Amino acid sequence: MAATVTNTENVATAIGAGARPRGGNGFHKNGGGGNDDGQPLRFSPARYRIGVWMAVGSILMLFTALTSAYIVRSASGNDWRPITMPKVLLVSTLLIVISSVTMEVSRRSLKQQRDAAYGRWLVLTSVLGLGFLASQVIAWRQLVGQGVYLSSNPYNSFFYLFTAAHGLHLLGGILALALLLLRTRRRRATVEGELRRTGAADAASIYWHFMDGLWVALFFLLFFWK
């Protein structure tokens, strides 16, 4: 939860919630701040970022709950039998870490208005993401091959649960990337359209990095907190 609170603060600073003139613009920088003619801007680019930070906060709470359960459960009962992790998980981890880098390159390309590069790197990121998922499925299949099922041991239950929950969320991320590819690869005619386009890319990259970090954290948890 602490992490989420910090996030909210970051958001608050990011969108300029500092001092503001009395009787004037409440949220001049972004929050529907106004133009000179007094017409409020209809879209402010922080929107997607705030939204995705909130999503990150709630997903973090979900995994905090599951992790707490993991820690409590590992201490209750004497049936906790950790297994040796399939080696292929190292490949997964490598893939997702690289995908974070490509995502970042993609986002920066967009910032530098190199649209073609933006699209290419997005495709690469999606492919790496799919590769990660495939690698996770391979890990599952190896475990099933060894007779290690969801219910055979609480440690396994958590292993499957964590990987499945993370995988589902990452799948959501891949869908988001697909959406970016389909709908925002081209430059927009209006200012608002451009803001939406870059805002969406920013949000997707925040989510993607979070999924990367989350997996690394889960990986360490599963490897070292047995």
Nearer to another protein (CB atom), residue 87 or residue 190? 190
Q: How far apart are CA 159 and CA 221, in angstroms?
A: 10
Torsion of CA 26, 30, 32, 33, to 10 degrees: 60
Q: Which of 18, 38, 145, 147 binds another protein (CB under 8 A)?
A: 38
User: With contact defined as beta carbons under 8 Å apart, do 211 and 92 qualify?
Assistant: no
Q: How far apart are CA 139 and CA 132, in angstroms?
A: 11
3-state class of 40 per DSSP? strand
18 near another protein, judged by CB under 8 A: no
Q: Which of 104, 108, 127, 157 binds another protein (CB under 8 A)?
A: 157
Q: Which of 134, 185, 192, 221 binds another protein (CB under 8 A)?
A: 192
DSSP character at residue 34: B
Query: Residue 214 corresponds to which amino acid?
Result: L
Nearer to another protein (CB atom), residue 46 or residue 96? 46
Nearer to another protein (CB atom), residue 112 or residue 190? 190
82 near another protein, judged by CB under 8 A: no
Phi/psi at 219 (5° precision): -60, -45
Q: 3-state secondary structure string, 57-89? A: HHHHHHHHHHHHHHHHHHHCCCCCCCCCCCCHH
Nearer to another protein (CB atom), residue 20 or residue 114? 20
83 near another protein, judged by CB under 8 A: no
Q: How far apart are CA 20 and CA 5, in angstroms?
A: 23
Q: Which of 6, 9, 26, 226 binds another protein (CB under 8 A)?
A: 26
In the complex, least distance from residue 137 CB atom to another protein, rounded to whole angstroms: 18
20 near another protein, judged by CB under 8 A: yes
User: With contact defined as beta carbons under 8 Å apart, do 166 and 60 qualify?
Assistant: no
62 near another protein, judged by CB under 8 A: yes
In the complex, least distance from residue 71 CB atom to another protein, rounded to whole angstroms: 10
Compute how many residues bind another protein; rule: CB under 8 A. Answer: 64
Q: Please choose, from the candidates 47, 73, 71, the residue with its C-alpha nearest in 3D space to the C-alpha of residue 153.
A: 73
- The footprint of another protein (CB under 8 A) covers 1, 4, 8, 11-12, 15, 17, 20, 22-44, 46-47, 50-51, 54-55, 57-59, 61-66, 68-69, 72-73, 76-80, 150-151, 154, 157, 161, 165, 190-192
